[in-house]
């Protein structure tokens, strides 16, 4: 069973051809201050964003010279096949939208929307993507876990050839087939191989962004991959009033918010996007702009700047989730560049250790007294402010109960500065 996160309020808006018209301004790009990067000449050139979706109309003017590779995988029992009639295909033609009786299936134009927001080619009818000179690797699939694993393997294989910097995923995979599937997302064995592949991508600097979902939920992540997985950066959406969109599945797992109303492509023309499906490629494309400008920084440093440089948005329960702001992220990275520091210097008198015992994650620090420790443990924040030594010892200790037998991802920050990420197995 699978689900594409189609926007709830999409408009079937056809834009009449007006060749003499200038490229229209896109309010979503204005909201995230994309011109901060464009005016410096950073438009995504030389980078590639991979997308997992339904394919695109390869003859659409929005995608001229933009789709440089594709992969199509159908492993489920649906009987669906790739454009060449098989269940596995690679190359540009593999990125094609599904056809029925020789005609493009307009009910499956979700990939046109997401790809257009990333790297659409600007024209007189539509503004183009946020990273208009970046390239697209489009994956076309049935969204079964086995299919996603094969796609992620292909993206990993092609990472250097195409300079893939980000992955955009606006879909959800349900796996309610057994009692095991009722486990939390991070412990569901159905998703184990997907998690392993996403971790491999993050380890080589490719950030996987995933739509949080259009589920009208508060403080919860629905039990679907990839947004519920620790290795994915969950993205929610905001409306034109800079409020969390009414349908956004919101939780502590959501790391960034972005506009959901960008004008983008549909099968043959253009339409206003909607949903967290639209917010996610916007964030992935923005990330590519920053990677283009700051190749010396790690992927985590750039992601941290995107979060710390964002405008905090309060939802009913979740407070202060950052909304994408490229001007803020660029300012933080430029400041870091001017210091000449690309990785925090290691001070032998300052130590941070992550340990595990009896189902607990324990974080020990030495030499940071009076500062602020922030740790994202399994997607939730653990804060010690100020850091104080534990009892009569010369170190501090904070813990979180996560249960035993799990791989737990821990992000460490001191006074808001990213230190490192590590994964430990609880015992």
The CATH number that applies at residue 357 is 2.60.40.2450
Structure token pair of residue 41: 């000449």
Domain containing residue 261: 2-339
Q: What is the pLDDT of residue 176?
A: 55
Q: What is the pLDDT of residue 77?
A: 77
Strand-by-strand arrangement of the 67-73 sheet: 88-90, 67-73, 135-141, 48-53, 164-169, 207-211, 233-238, 254-259, 321-323, 311-313
Q: Are residues 168 and 220 located together in one domain of the fold?
A: yes
Average pLDDT over residues 109-129: 97
Q: Are residues 140 and 208 located together in one domain of the fold?
A: yes
Backbone angles phi, psi at 110, to 5 degrees: -60, -40
Please check the confidence at residue 1 and state whether its pLDDT lies above 90. no
Q: Which of 135, 243, 147 is nearest to 197 (CA)?
A: 147
Q: What is the pLDDT of residue 7?
A: 43
Q: Give the CATH number for residue 100.
A: 3.40.50.200
Residue after which a domain boundary falls, among 339, 364, 386: 339
Q: Are residues 317 and 406 located together in one domain of the fold?
A: no
Answer whether 38's CB lies under 8 Å from 134's CB. no
Give CA–CA dist 35/283, Å, rounded.
15
Q: Which of 310, 290, 5 is nearest to 169 (CA)?
A: 5
Q: What is the pLDDT of residue 220?
A: 60
82 located within any domain: yes
Determine which helix (DSSP H) or strand (DSSP E) holds 27, and give its type and residue range.
helix 27-31
Task: Give the model confidence (pLDDT) of 285-318 as tens digits.
Answer: 999 999 999 999 999 999 999 999 999 999 998 8
Q: Are residues 157 and 222 located together in one domain of the fold?
A: yes
Average pLDDT over residues 230-244: 96
Q: Are residues 162 and 268 located together in one domain of the fold?
A: yes
Average pLDDT over residues 368-396: 86
28 located within any domain: yes
H helices of 268-407, in order, are 276-293, 299-308, 326-339
140 located within any domain: yes
Give CA–CA dist 362/397, Å, rounded.
7
Q: How far is CA 380 from CA 10, 64, 231, 402, in A?
A: 32, 42, 13, 11
54 located within any domain: yes
**What value, to the nearest 5°, has the Cα angle with vertex 197 and ends 221 and 273?**
50
The mean pLDDT value of the chain amounts to: 88
Q: Are residues 293 and 248 located together in one domain of the fold?
A: yes
Q: Are residues 331 and 368 located together in one domain of the fold?
A: no
Greater pLDDT, 74 or 349:
74
Give SS3 for 263: strand
Q: Are residues 333 and 223 located together in one domain of the fold?
A: yes
Half-sphere exposure of 111 (CA within 13 A, CB side): 31
Give CA–CA dist 315/297, Å, rounded.
31
Give CA–CA dist 25/126, Å, rounded.
8
Q: What is the pLDDT of residue 341?
A: 55
346 located within any domain: no
Instruction: Return the percentage of the chain with pLDDT > 70, whole number.
Output: 89
Answer whether 332's CB lies under 8 Å from 292's CB. no
345 located within any domain: no
Strands 103-104 and 164-169: unpaired
Confidence category of residue 342, pLDDT binned at 50, 70, 90: low
Give CA–CA dist 394/264, Å, rounded.
57
Average pLDDT over residues 194-216: 93
Answer whether 285's CB lies under 8 Å from 262's CB. no
Residue after which a domain boundary falls, among 339, 369, 397: 339
CA dihedral 216, 267, 19, 279 (to 10 degrees): 30
Give CA–CA dist 137/50, Å, rounded.
5
Please check the confidence at residue 348 and state whether its pLDDT lies above 90. no
344 located within any domain: no
Q: Are residues 246 and 140 located together in one domain of the fold?
A: yes
137 located within any domain: yes
Please check the confidence at residue 56 and state whether its pLDDT lies above 50. yes
Q: Are residues 378 and 264 located together in one domain of the fold?
A: no
Structure token pair of residue 415: 């006074």
Answer whether 130's CB lies under 8 Å from 115's CB. no
Rounded to two decimals, the pTM is 0.79
Q: What is the pLDDT of residue 356?
A: 81
Average pLDDT over residues 203-229: 83
Answer whether 318's CB lies under 8 Å from 251's CB. yes
Number of Cβ within 10 Å of residue 91's Cβ equals 13
Structure token pair of residue 23: 């490229």
Q: Are residues 93 and 163 located together in one domain of the fold?
A: yes
Strands 135-141 and 171-173: unpaired
Structure token pair of residue 93: 């033609």
Residue after which a domain boundary falls, among 282, 312, 339: 339
Confidence category of residue 15, pLDDT binned at 50, 70, 90: very low
Overall number of domains in the chain: 2
Task: Report DSSP state, residue 319.
Answer: -
Please check the confidence at residue 223 and state whether its pLDDT lies above 80. no
Q: Are residues 294 and 207 located together in one domain of the fold?
A: yes
Answer whether 109's CB lies under 8 Å from 95's CB. no
Q: How far is CA 261 from CA 30, 212, 264, in A?
A: 12, 16, 9
The DSSP code sequence of 57-78 is: -TTSGGGTTTEEEEEEE--STT
Please check the confidence at residue 221 and state whether its pLDDT lies above 60. no
């Amino acid at each position: 069973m699978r689900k594409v996160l189609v926007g709830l309020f999409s408009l079937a808006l056809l834009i009449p051809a007006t060749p003499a018209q200038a490229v229209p301004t896109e309010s979503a790009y204005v909201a995230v201050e994309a011109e901060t990067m464009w005016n410096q000449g950073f438009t995504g050139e030389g980078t590639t964003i991979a997308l997992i979706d339904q394919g695109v109309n390869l003859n659409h003017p929005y995608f001229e010279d933009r789709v440089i590779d594709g992969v199509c995988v159908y492993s489920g029992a649906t009987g669906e096949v790739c454009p060449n009639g098989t269940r596995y295909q690679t190359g540009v033609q593999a990125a094609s939208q599904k056809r029925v009786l020789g005609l493009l299936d307009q009910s499956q134009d979700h990939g046109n929307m997401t790809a257009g927001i990333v790297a659409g080619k600007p024209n007189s009818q539509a503004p183009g993507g946020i990273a208009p000179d970046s390239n697209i690797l489009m994956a076309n699939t049935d969204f079964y876990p086995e299919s996603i694993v094969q796609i992620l393997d292909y993206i990993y294989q092609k990472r250097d050839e195409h300079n893939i910097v980000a992955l955009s995923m606006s879909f959800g995979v349900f796996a309610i087939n057994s009692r095991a599937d009722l486990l939390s997302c991070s412990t569901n064995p159905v998703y184990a191989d997907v998690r392993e592949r996403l971790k491999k991508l993050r380890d080589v600097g490719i950030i996987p962004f995933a739509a949080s979902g259009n589920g009208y939920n508060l403080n919860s992540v629905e039990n679907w991959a990839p947004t519920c997985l620790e290795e994915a950066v969950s993205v929610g959406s905001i409306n034109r009033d800079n409020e969390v969109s009414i349908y956004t599945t919101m939780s502590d797992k959501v790391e960034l918010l972005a506009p959901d109303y960008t004008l983008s492509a549909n099968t043959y023309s253009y339409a206003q996007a909607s949903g967290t499906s639209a917010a996610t490629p916007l964030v992935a494309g923005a990330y590519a702009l920053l990677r283009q400008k700051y190749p010396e920084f790690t992927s985590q440093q750039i992601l941290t700047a995107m979060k710390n440089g964002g405008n905090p948005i309060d939802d009913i329960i979740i407070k202060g989730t950052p909304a994408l702001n490229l001007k803020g992220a660029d300012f933080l990275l430029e400041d870091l560049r001017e210091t000449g520091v690309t990785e925090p210097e290691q001070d032998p008198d300052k130590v941070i250790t992550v340990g595990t015992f009896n189902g607990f994650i324990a974080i020990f620090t030495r030499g940071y007294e009076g500062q602020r420790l922030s740790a994202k443990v399994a997607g939730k924040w653990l804060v010690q402010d100020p850091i104080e030594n534990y009892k009569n010892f010369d170190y501090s200790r904070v813990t979180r109960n996560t249960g035993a037998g799990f791989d737990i991802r821990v992000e460490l920050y001191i006074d808001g500065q990213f230190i490192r990420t590590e994964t430990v197995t609880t015992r």
